[in-house]
Structure 1
Amino acid sequence: MPSQRTGPPASAEPIDPDTGLSASPRRREPRLPHYTVLGVIAVGGALGAVARYGASRLWPAGTDGFPWATLTVNAVGCLVIGVFLVVVSEVFSAHRLLRPFFATGVLGGFTTFSTYCVDIVRLVDSGRAGPALAYLAATLVAAMAAVSAGAWSTRRVVAKWGER
């Protein structure tokens, strides 16, 4: 007998319950002090930023090089956020501080769209407008494809796991 799914339809993207847009009623939990949430975001952000810095040191772009490390970090971060949000939204109920810590903090610190913008300006300023435009487009496409692939593949794995 197939398992009964209680989450949103497979075609729906995860909805952040903090936005109030969830179709199902939320249970009322006591609010955490703002400094607690900000603290876990800050700790997660520091960890993510250290990981990103490590990636840039392992794979430096050089002064005229293409910023492969930043492109890869952003795509990997988007893939992970797609997996993570499906898991915490559709598979199990996570602790209230997990999403701010990991999604906003760690992945927000790890992905670096500000460096992405600086890299584009650096490429343009060095007379490499073509690679700058390619990088601009490649990052957007890679980020959207990665988050979609992460969410889609996680739902498939969860569905197969639920059939066992």
Structure 2
Amino acid sequence: MNWLLVVLGAAVGAPLRYLTDRAVQSRHDSVFPWGTFVVNVTGCLILGLLTGAVASGAAGPHLQLLLGTGLCGALTTYSTFSYETLRLTETGAGLYAVGNAAASVVAGLGAAFAGVWLSAAF
């Protein structure tokens, strides 16, 4: 049963990641990978909310598998973040690469902490 929850969450997360990435990136005329940045930070926020809810007892392990492992696991992408950062460096956009790495870590951690904080507020 647990594997089915992960599969269901991933079945939603993977296309959501692709569609969100394409929608966001199409609105920016920049080499900065805004689409990947948005999906990763959004995933961090969702995972923070979920972690806070599970820690407080407001959500259980099944929801954690569905949304945390399944949805967020397929929505977020460390490999694409790494690849895009490397490509920025290789194409001479080193400042964008550094900015992507720094902003992704800061915004991702900030979103996760905000999610935990928000879940405690409810």
By the TM > 0.5 criterion, same fold? yes
What count of residue pairs does the alignment treat as equivalent? 121
CA distance in 2 between counterparts of 1:99 and 1:153 reads 17
Q: 133-142 vs 61-70, which deviates more?
A: 61-70
Select which of 61, 68, 81 maps to 2:34.
Answer: 68
**TM-score (ref. length: structure 1):** 0.67
Secondary structure in 1 matching 2:25: coil
CA distance in 2 between counterparts of 1:67 and 1:88 reads 32
User: Which residue number corresponds to residue 106 of structure 1?
Assistant: 71
Select which of 10, 25, 50 maps to 2:15.
Answer: 50
User: Which residue number corresponds to residue 41 of structure 1?
Assistant: 6
CA distance in 1 between counterparts of 2:117 and 2:85 reads 30
User: Which residue number corresponds to residue 125 of structure 1?
Assistant: 90
Q: 113-122 vs 54-63, which deviates more?
A: 54-63
Amino acid at match of 2:97: A
Pairwise CA distance, 1:69: 1.3
Q: Do the aligned residues in 2 keep the contact of 1:64 with 1:126 (CA within 8 Å)?
A: no
**TM-score (ref. length: structure 2):** 0.88
| RMSD over equivalenced CA pairs, Å | 1.9
User: Which residue number corresponds to residue 47 of structure 2?
Assistant: 81
What are the Cα deviations for residues 44-75 of structure 1, in whole angstroms up to 9, with x where unaligned? 11210110101112122689611011111111
CA distance in 1 between counterparts of 2:30 and 2:112 reads 29
Query: Is the alpha carbon distance of 1:64 and 1:137 closer, same or farther for their aligned partners in structure 2, counting shifts above 3 Å?
Result: same
Q: 55-64 vs 111-120, which deviates more?
A: 55-64
Query: Is the alpha carbon distance of 1:59 and 1:92 closer, same or farther for their aligned partners in structure 2, counting shifts above 3 Å?
Result: closer
User: Which residue number corresponds to residue 23 of structure 1?
Assistant: none
Unaligned runs of 5+ residues in structure 1 are 1-35, 159-164
Query: Is the alpha carbon distance of 1:40 and 1:80 closer, same or farther for their aligned partners in structure 2, counting shifts above 3 Å?
Result: same
Unaligned runs of 5+ residues in structure 2 are none
Select which of 79, 83, 92 maps to 2:58.
Answer: 92
Higher share of residues assigned helix? 2
Pairwise CA distance, 1:134: 1.0
